[in-house]
Amino acid sequence: MDFNPTSLKKWKILTAVLALACIIFFFISYGYAMDASETAAEVQDLEEKNKQLLSERQDLRNQIEEMKGDYQQGLQDGYLARNSYPENGSVIVNTPKDRLAPLTLNTKPEGSNAYYIKLVSQDTNLTEFSFFVCPGQSIDIDVPLGNYYIYYATGLQWYGDTDLFGDTTSCFKADDLFCFYYQDGYYNGYTLSLYDVAGGNLGYQDVDLDTFRSLG
């Protein structure tokens, strides 16, 4: 057989082209495989994030439903509380004495708590006069002459002078002794705010419920 250099050259060229094509095909296939793997990972990551978002959205829905329930309960509690109150200024424990000295009591504007006020005699340590103040209201009332400690209970729904404001009851005693008297043609009285005010000088201390009840 005759050796043909031209044929050999063509064969080498063809072989090189085939080898290059194989290399190119390998890299293209590898690239597609990598892209497919990365795409699958991205899809999985998006699915996980979507599950997390769905869970967070459900949590928000649950919170909104709870808030709606709390709001409705608050409306109901507020309705029951308002309808349980005596009229503002209603006398609970009356006195046979003439009521001559002025007393003004202010509660926190737009406050939610009502107040039951007791004037406790310095001499007997018993309630001589008591009355009710509705939330956010002020009252001008005449009280008997004498020296009194002022006690008050505060809370939301009123259950009467025994159970007071139920579980929401808090009781306090004003620090000062209040002297209501007549002198030089006028009756000495007081104006008190039953909440913290800037520059206010009314101090008070906590009192337990049994002590408050024992005052009569």
pLDDT per residue rounded down to tens, the chain (216 residues): 554 556 656 666 666 666 666 666 655 655 555 566 667 777 777 778 877 877 777 777 777 766 655 544 444 454 455 578 999 999 999 999 999 999 999 999 989 999 999 999 999 999 999 999 999 999 999 999 999 999 999 999 999 989 999 999 999 999 999 999 999 999 999 999 988 766 667 889 999 999 999 999
pLDDT at 87: 95
Q: Are residues 28 and 98 in the same domain?
A: no
Residue 36 CB contacts under 8 Å (≥ 6 apart), including other chains: none
| Residue 201 shares a structural domain with residue 117 | yes
Same domain, 64 and 116: no
Model pLDDT, residue 28: 62
If one counts the domains in the chain, the total is 2
Give the position of tokens 């043609």: 185
Q: Residues in the chain, how many?
A: 216
d(CA 177, CA 182): 16
Last residue of a domain, which of 31, 52, 84? 84
Look at residues 43, 63, 84 and tell me which one is the last residue of a structural domain: 84
* 174 and 122 within one domain: yes
Could you tell me which residues are beta bridge partners of residue 207? 171
3's torsion region: left (phi>0), alpha (psi -120 to 50) or beta?
A: beta
Count, in order, helices (H) and strands (E) of the chain. Answer: 2, 11
What's the confidence (pLDDT) of residue 67? 67
170-184 CB burial, b ≥16 within 10 A, e <16: ebbbbeeebebeeee
If asked whether residues 45 and 9 sit together in one domain, one would say yes
What one-character DSSP code corresponds to residue 97?
S
CATH number of residue 176's parent domain: 2.60.40
In this structure, the answer to whether residues 102 and 186 fall within a common structural domain is yes
* Residue 68 in tokens: 């709606």
Among residues 115, 216, 89, which one has the least CA distance to residue 170? 115
**Residue range of the domain that includes 154:** 91-214
Q: How does DSSP classify residue 85?
A: P
pTM of the model: 0.63
74 plus 101 within the same structural domain: no
One domain for residues 64 and 135 = no
Predicted pLDDT at 79: 45
pLDDT at 93: 95
Do 166 and 77 belong together in one domain? no
Q: What are the phi and psi torsion angles at 88 (to 5°)?
A: -55, 130
Residue 73 in tokens: 């309960």
Q: Which of 32, 65, 84 is the last residue of a domain?
A: 84
